[in-house]
Amino acid sequence: MSEERGMGIIVETIARATIPLIGIFGAYVVSHGHLTPGGGFQGGATIAGAGILFLIAFGLGEMKQHYNKNLYSILEGLGGLAFLGMAMLGIGVAFFYNTLWHNGPIFNGRPGTLLSAGYLPVMNIAVGLKVFAGLVSAMVAIASYRRWGK
Amino acid sequence: MSFIVAFLWSYVLWLVLTAGSEGMLWSTEELVAGVLFSAVVAFATRNLIGEKAGRFLNPVKWAGFVIYAIGPLFWGMVRANFDVAYRVITGKIKPGIVRVPVELENDAQYTLLSNSITLTPGTLTIDACPEEKALYVHWINVTEREPKDSSVVAGSFEKWARWLGR
């Protein structure tokens, strides 16, 4: 299948080096969503960009060997559940009550540090996970959908 | 091994991004979070970064990269930029695609040489063919139609790429 091969030696080598960097930069954007510009969606889309770079640089054939539909489906559901779980934590007062910030054991540090802002960092990670898994799944599904040449 | 390489590679970028979280240095929570996130990223990309990527953990090679970047590569870029400015003003160009035979063994060497050739203006790598040990280079001023080695196109870059990517 000619469409399933990658883009050549230079693109593949650069992709090998940059995909971990894109991943960790996306993780930085996600985990500092309460401190710096960005957040769950932006960081998740960045990490999904790394996945799409893998898909384009190495081709669909290689992607199919490393992509597990059930795993990504579970990750996306897990992200949504973690978001809901954080929203339910303060249900004794109200839905979305930020109990971690007001009296909860962690995530109530001095504002401006990493472990502050209550449930926000956890929710950002949940949204980032969901967006990453969803976008990568969508792109793999679109790339696999082929009736063009047949 | 490749897990460790991917971990260190991403952890260094994390440290660069989060520098200044406590004074000029890093707060403990940033360091711990960096270890966690880098471990996740490294676990996800451990098969991607390559089995032999551990050779880039050699500090001698880092020094080599720095020397190469600020020495031959920077000087080549400055010189080639002036050359292209001269060709823009005078219009003396003779473009063409030449096949440049190279003596390289692995992917990293081909990538380093191709990117160096593309970074120096006037030459642009179009394709790298490891199976025929050649690069196809688009050249703004072809002086030699069938070069025997890469020195007319890239100067000393091939020697550096051979050493840095080994």
Spell out the residues 6+ positions from residue B88 whose beta carbon is closer than 8 angstroms to its own: none
Q: Say yes or no for a CB contact (<8 Å) between A13 and B30.
A: no
Mean pLDDT of A94-117: 84
Please report how many Cα atoms fall inside a 13 Å half-sphere around the Cα of residue A125, on the Cβ side: 17
What separation in angstroms does the CA of A61 have from each of A3, A58, A65, A69, B4?
A: 9, 8, 7, 15, 27
3-state secondary structure of B129: strand
What pLDDT sits at residue A74?
95
What pLDDT sits at residue A137?
93
Rounded percentage of chain A residues whose pLDDT exceeds 70:
94
Q: Which of A7, A22, A24 to mutate to test the interface with B (most CBs of B within 10 A)?
A: A24
The ranges of chain B with pLDDT < 50 are none
Nearest neighbour of A9 by CB, restricted to B17, B48, B130: B130
What pLDDT sits at residue B133?
87
Q: Say yes or no for a CB contact (<8 Å) between B111 and A9.
A: yes
Q: For residue B139, which phi and psi values (nearest 5 degrees)?
A: -120, 135
Mean pLDDT of A104-127: 86
pLDDT digits (tens, 9 = 90+) for A21-39: 999 999 999 999 888 898 8
What pLDDT sits at residue A1?
41
Give yes or no for residue A99 having a pLDDT over 50. Answer: yes
pLDDT digits (tens, 9 = 90+) for A32-85: 988 889 888 999 999 999 999 999 998 888 888 888 999 999 999 999 999 999
B120 has a chain A CB within 8 A of its CB: no
Name residue B50's amino acid: G
What pLDDT sits at residue B156?
84
**Interface predicted TM-score (ipTM) of this complex, two decimals:** 0.86
Mean pLDDT of A11-28: 91
A27: chain B residues, CB-CB within 8 Å: 14, 37, 40-41
Our CA-based measurement puts residue B89 at a distance from the nearest CA of chain A, in whole angstroms, of 33
pLDDT digits (tens, 9 = 90+) for B61-108: 899 999 989 988 899 889 889 988 998 899 888 888 988 888 888 888
Give me A69's structure tokens.
């539909």
The H-or-E segment that residue B160 falls in is: helix B157-164
Give me A12's structure tokens.
């593949």
Give yes or no for residue A97 having a pLDDT over 70. Answer: yes
What pLDDT sits at residue A150?
57
